[in-house]
Amino acid sequence: MINELITLIQSQEEELQRLLELLETQYKMIMSKDVFGLEGLVDKINECGKKIAKQEIERRNILGDNGIVEVVNNSNNDELRENYNKIKRTLNSVISQKETNDMLLKQQIIFNNKMLEIINPRREIKTYNSYGNLSR
C-alpha cells in the first residue's frame, strides 16, 4: 500500500506541476491582455484538473477511511513523507497562483464594466425617491 501511495503521490505532484505551469502561463496572458490565448488555455486547465481529480479518487480508494496525514505520520517511510511534503508545497503554490489570477481577472472585468458604463451611459431618466436619493 505504501509503495502504491508513493507512486500515486508522485504522479499527482507531476500533474500539479503541469497545472502550476498552466496557471503561470495564464498569469502572463492576463498581464499582456491576451484574450484569445486565455480562451485556448481554459481547456488545458480543465483537462489537467480532471486528471488530478481522478488521481485523488484513486488515492481515496487506496486509503479507505484513513486520512493521508494519519497514514504519512504513522508510516516510518521517509520517501512517503518527502513526497507528501513536496506535493503540499506544490499545492500551496497552485492555490496561490490561482487566487492571484482570479483577483486579476475580476479587476479587469470591473475595469471593463466601468469603461463600458462611461462610454455608453444609461439613457433612462433619473428621479429622486422620497429619501432624496437618485433612483433608476
Please report, for residues 11, 14, 70, 111, the alpha-carbon distance to residue 51 in angstroms, rounded to integers and kept in the order given: 10, 11, 24, 34
The answer to whether residue 36 scores a pLDDT higher than 80 is yes
* 84/101 Cα distance (integer angstroms): 26
DSSP 25-82: HHHHHHHTT-HHHHHHHHHHHHHHHHHHHHHHHHHHHHHTTS-HHHHHHHS--HHHHH
Share of the chain above pLDDT 70, in %: 99
Cell of 10: 508522485
5-14, 45-54, 93-102, 118-127: range with lowest mean pLDDT:
118-127
What integer is the mean pLDDT of 6-31?
94
What does the alpha-carbon distance between residue 79 and residue 113 come to, in Å, rounded to a whole number?
Answer: 51
Whether the predicted pLDDT of 123 surpasses 80: no
Mean pLDDT, the chain, rounded, equals: 90
Which residues have CB under 8 Å from 51's CB, separation 6+?
Answer: 15
- Is the pLDDT at 136 greater than 70? The verdict is no
Which of residues 88 and 123 earns the better pLDDT score? 88
Instruction: Kindly state the average pLDDT of the residues 12-29.
Output: 95
The domain spans of the chain are 2-135
Can you tell me the mean pLDDT for 112-124?
84
Predicted confidence (pLDDT) at residue 131 exceeds the cutoff of 90: no
Q: Which CATH architecture has domain 2-135?
A: Up-down Bundle (1.20)
Using alpha carbons only, give the angle 63, 15, 39 rounded to the nearest 5 degrees.
Answer: 130
What number is the average pLDDT over the span 17-27?
A: 96
